[in-house]
Amino acid sequence: MQQPSFLKKITIALFLGLFGAGVLPAQHLNYLNTSKDAKTLDLKKFSANLSNIYRDSSVGWAYTIWKKGKLRYDQSGGFKITPADRLNQEGLPFLSSTRIHVASLSKTVTAFAIAQLVDQKKLNWNDRVKAYLPSYWKFHPDFENLSILDLVAMRSGLDGPLDAQSSGTASLRRLMEKGPNPAKRGKFNYQNTSYGLLRMVVAYATGYQELQPAADSLVVGMVTANLYKTFVNQSLFKPAGILPAECRMTDLEPAFQYPFPYANEPGEPTGWTGQANLNDLSEYAGGFGWYLSATDAAKLINATFVDKKLLSTKALATLFTLDYPFKIRKNAYGEHFGSGGDWGHPTPNDGWRGIHAYYYCFPDDVVVTVFVNSGDSSPNVRVIRAYEQAFK
C-alpha cells in the first residue's frame, strides 16, 4: 500500500527507546493536523496576500509556494542591489534565485546533516560529543557526557553571544573547558555555539584526521569547516537538486542588505560582520554561514519532508520530539512548523539593516519559503496571517 503524504495528517511510529532507554511499545506522533473547519486553502489568494505584504515593506523580497513537491507560485520584487550601489545606476532585481546569507536557517541544514549521519550509522544520538572533537582539548567535567542530541536540541548549557566569533574554533575550545551555564544546563537556550560544535562533529564523523596538537590547532578550524561543507553539498544539496553552495559570497554581483525604511543609501553584503576578515563564514558556520536562495531552501525542505529523499522517518521522528530545530505550532486552521534566520544590525536612527530567510510547512504538503532583503521584521506573524486569510 502506498504510504500517505508526509505532511498530511499522518501517524508515525515513534519508539520511546530511540534514545537508548530500551525498546518500548510504539507510541504515535500525530502532527500537522488540519482543522475540522470545512474551509479550504486558496493558494492563489495566499500568494496574493504575501505579495501585498512585501511589496511595500522591504527593499527586496522573494517567496515560493509549493504543493506536493510542485512549484505553484514564485514571486519577487525590489532589489538585490539598488541603483545607489551600481555604477550604471540601474538596480539588480531580487529574485527567488538570489543567494543571500541565510543566517540561522543554516542550523536546519546542520541538523539534517547530523540526522543523515545517524541514518548512515556514523553517529548515534547518544554519542558523547567529546569523541568527535580534538582529543587534546580539555573538557569541563560537566561536558564529559554531553551528547549529540543535547547539542541539536540546544540544551547543552553552552552559552555565548549571538555573533560570529563565538562559533570559531578557539572560542569553542575555551567554552568546552569553561563548562556550562548551570542555570541553562538541560534547558533550551538559543545560541550559535552548539551548532558550531556540530560543524566539527560532522567533520570528525566523515573522516577528519588529527595532526600533532601544535600543528592541528593551526588547521583544525578550516579543515573541519571544509569537510562539513563537502558533506552538506554532497549528501544534502546534491540529492535535493541544489547547485553547490558556500559559506561566503561567490556571486559576481552579490546581494546587499540595506536599512529599512530605505533612503537611497549604500548597502552591505549579506553576511557582513563589520570585519573584512570575517566575510568568509566557513570556520564559524554550523549555526549560520550558508548562502542559499529561496528556491534552494524550498528544494531542501521538499526533499526532506515531501519527497523523503534525505532522512529516514525514524530520524525525522527524533527531531520532532525536540523544541528545536523545528516545533509544531497551531494556527487558525490547523498546524504548521518551520524555521529560519535573521542577520543584520541596528542603524544609528533606531532602524535595522539586514535580511530574513525562512521556510514554513503546512498540511497537504504545502511548503513556503520567504526571503526578505532588509524588511523591518521576521516573516513569522505576517506569513501565518497571510495563510489564515487565504481560506475560503
Residue 179 pLDDT exceeds 70: yes
| C-alpha 358, offset from chain centre | 8
Predicted pLDDT of residue 36: 61
Closest CA to 84 of 268, 276, 271, 251: 268
Residue 362 pLDDT exceeds 90: yes
82: containing domain: 10-101+293-388
Predicted pLDDT of residue 13: 31
Question: Does residue 93 lie in a domain region?
Answer: yes
- Name the pTM for this structure: 0.91
Predicted pLDDT of residue 246: 98
Question: Does residue 138 lie in a domain region?
Answer: no
Residue 100 pLDDT exceeds 90: yes
Residue 352 pLDDT exceeds 90: no
Question: Does residue 184 lie in a domain region?
Answer: no
CA–CA dist 230, 207 (Å, integer): 12
Predicted pLDDT of residue 35: 64
For the residues 315-319, what does the mean pLDDT come to?
94
For the residues 315-335, what does the mean pLDDT come to?
92
For the residues 54-67, what does the mean pLDDT come to?
95
Question: Does residue 112 lie in a domain region?
Answer: no
Predicted pLDDT of residue 14: 27
Question: Does residue 302 lie in a domain region?
Answer: yes
Predicted pLDDT of residue 157: 93
Question: Does residue 88 lie in a domain region?
Answer: yes
Residue 301 pLDDT exceeds 60: yes
Residue 160 pLDDT exceeds 90: no
Helices 105-119 & 294-301, crossing angle to 10 degrees? 30
Predicted pLDDT of residue 273: 77
Question: Does residue 224 lie in a domain region?
Answer: no
At residue 65, the 3 state secondary structure works out as strand
For the residues 72-100, what does the mean pLDDT come to?
97
For the residues 204-219, what does the mean pLDDT come to?
96
For the residues 133-140, what does the mean pLDDT come to?
97
For the residues 196-212, what does the mean pLDDT come to?
97
For the residues 45-64, what does the mean pLDDT come to?
95
**Looking at the 3D structure of the chain, how many domains does it have?**
1
Cα dihedral angle (376, 380, 383, 387), rounded to 10 degrees? -160
Question: Does residue 320 lie in a domain region?
Answer: yes
